[in-house]
Structure 1
Amino acid sequence: MNEQALPIADLDHQELFPIREVSRLTGVNPVTLRAWERRYGLIQPTRTDSGHRLYSQADVDAVRSILGWLERGVAVSKVGSILARGQALAQDSSAASNADDLARWRTQVREAVQCFDGAGLDRLFDQVFASTTQEQVFNDIFMPVWHTLRAAPRGFGQASEWGFLDQFLRGRVLMRLQLARAPRRQRVVLAPLSTALQELELLVAGLLLGSEEIGVVLLPASQPLQELALICRQLEPDAVVLFSNQRPTAELGKRLARLGLGCPLLLAGEAAEFAHDTLAGSAVVCLGAEVSLMRRRLRQYLAGQLDT
């Protein structure tokens, strides 16, 4: 498809640029721009009714930012995660103040857990949800405390504190997953890459990956990988997402190729970052580890706008 440059007057009126104009402004050829969009999900131009790409000034700025990271030696497969983190901070003009608020919430969560104060933790959870986004509730407040307690040396009482918080969060996430159970236009199955994954990590991933368009069928943390094909034959999902926050083994590609799911296979979590280069050129799509990036790439893939 050849994108034709629009008259300058039209560009000024629409504040949108055709691909060849973006190429002229940035020095990036159209083939590369399309690859950054379809393979890595780095930019998201709008489309005309005839299918031509149109880029906003923000898209042009994003292209220049991508070039900056590439010039610093960052692999293109890693740039998406960096941009996602930057965009999350940019959404709040008072990022420093916001960081202070998040740290204060984490401290209050930690204090409530130390006292095994279930009622206090309930109140905190509701207050945090009313004050910030669902993604921040888990990724920036509750889960960091959970990870710290889980990783800490097992002093007296720490195992009990972690168990207390783990049980509380599993209950809350399950409740929200129940509320989100409604028919969606598309459906994906979310499963653990290995049975070593903690149940709460999988539950939170399922909650954060879902949207108004995409429903998530969550399998248990104990789900055997070799039995996924059986489930896929029964459910016929639009895709299967395997989730893991651990470095995958060198045999991952061969293991995934043997599954025979009969539907698209995607990888999410830290494992997707580790395996991105290894799985390049395979049928497995790596969604990344950043929640906003995972959601965006999943949406793009299901819409046919992200290459494998």
Structure 2
Amino acid sequence: MTEPVVSIIPEEGGYSIQAVSERCGVNPVTLRAWERRYGLLKPSRTAKGHRRYSEAQLLRVQAVVQWLEKGVPIRQVQALLDSASAGTEPTPEPVWQKAREQALEALESLNLRRLEQQLNGLIADYGHARVIADFSDPLREQLALSPSLSLQSSLLHSLLMQKWSGKALSLSPGRRHSGWVLVPLGDPLAALELAMVLNAPLWCLDQPVDVDALCQRFASQPRFGVIWIADALPAAAQRARWLPDDKMEFPAFIWGPLAQQLAAGSPGLTVLEGNRVEIAETLQQHNLESLS
């Protein structure tokens, strides 16, 4: 995974957990789990109890990320970091394959409580971006291939909608603060999944809105940008209402499998390319607070 280009300055006693999160692309919740559950990190504390990470700890976080990207289970990373064998290449376990098999068993028995517990554990250990890319995306694709598993597919979709919606709500900016507006053109789950990876101030809608309404909102409260998530083609009349036909005063992006096709008729849109993590890195370069 390419690291975000973020300039961070050490605070007194080291880097804050937010600074490390931005530099390494790891959610603060996951950093705390690595510390508490696995002993992978040992940050110091300020007088007020805030975590501070040294340069060595920051490099350790990056090393953990590298091992996880190679398919090493989180429970094995401690030994690799602390032993002389840290330079060797272990044989990765099929972590995500096993996780998906367990999820299928839970879905086949309609045991959503068990599946939610599994999902919570994976998020704590690996973070939303990796769970979505390596667990829920391929699991949904696998279920979609078999009509006989349509019930299980719908149950999984409902569970993910509920889980991600709650998290997305917590990301809503405060009054008069800046943030991204995520507008789905199709399945609202696609917008929620992008919201989980962005993990930044945002409003995640569950349906399209008239572009005129967004323009009116920007006039009264600037400092926001809009991202349309295109995984379905709207009808001509809907497209005229929902998508801009000219350059916008606010940052206007479109992303998804149908982004290029829709942007061809909407010159005011800039197409975003790449996976969710790459999109998050691109959007970090935009200072919405500077808009007026």
Q: What secondary structure does 1:241 align onto? A: strand
Distance (Å, rounded) in 2 between the aligned partners of 1:203 and 1:303: 20
Q: How far apart, in 2, do the equivalents of 1:122 and 1:276 lie?
A: 36
Q: Please name the residue that 1:140 is paired with.
A: 134
How far, CA to CA, are the matches of 2:4 and 2:69 in structure 1?
25
User: Would you say 1:241 and 2:230 are equivalent positions?
Assistant: no
**Aligned mates of 1:43, 1:145 — CA distance in 2:** 27
Alpha-carbon distance in 2 for matches of 1:138, 1:247: 24
Task: Say if 1:270 and 1:301 are closer, same or farther in 2 by CA, change over 3 A.
Answer: farther
Q: What is the RMSD of the two structures over their aligned residues, measured on CA atoms?
A: 4.1
Match of 2:272, SS?
A: strand
Offset of residue 224 of structure 1: 4.6
> 1:126-165 alignment to 2 at 5 Å?
126-149=120-143, 151-155=144-148, 158-165=149-156
Say if 2:280 is the partner of 1:292.
Answer: no
The answer for the alignment partner of 1:189 in structure 2 is 181
Q: Aligned to 2:207, which of 211, 215, 221?
A: 221
Name the % identity.
16
Higher RCO (Cα < 8 Å, 6 or more apart): 1
Task: Provide closer, same or farther for how the CA distance between residues 235 and 165 of structure 1 changes in structure 2, counting only shifts above 3 A.
Answer: farther
CA distance in 1, matches of 2:274, 2:262: 11
Q: CA deviation at 1:104?
A: 1.2
Write out per-residue CA displacement over residues 19-54 of structure 1, whole angstroms, 9 at most, x where no aligned residue: xxxxxxxxxxxxxxxxxxxxxx9995969xxxxxxx
Q: Is the 8 A contact 1:244 1:270 kept in 2?
A: yes
The residue aligned with 1:266 is 253
Q: CA deviation at 1:180?
A: 2.8
Contact 2:195 2:202 in 1 (8 A): yes
- 2:17 equivalent in structure 1: none
Distance in structure 2 (CA, Å) of the matches to 1:299 and 1:43: 8
Scaled by the length of structure 2, the TM-score of the pair is 0.58
In structure 1, runs of 5+ residues without a counterpart are 1-40, 48-86
Instruction: Please name the residue that 2:106 is paired with.
Output: 112
> Post-superposition shift, 1:301?
3.1
Distance 1:42 1:209, change over 3 A: closer
Unaligned runs of 5+ in 2: 9-61, 74-91
> Contact 2:227/2:254 (CA < 8 Å) preserved in 1?
yes
Aligned to 2:157: 166
Partners of 1:97 and 1:43 lie apart in 2 by 22
Deviation at 1:283, TM superposition (A): 5.3
State the AA in 2 paired with 1:218. C
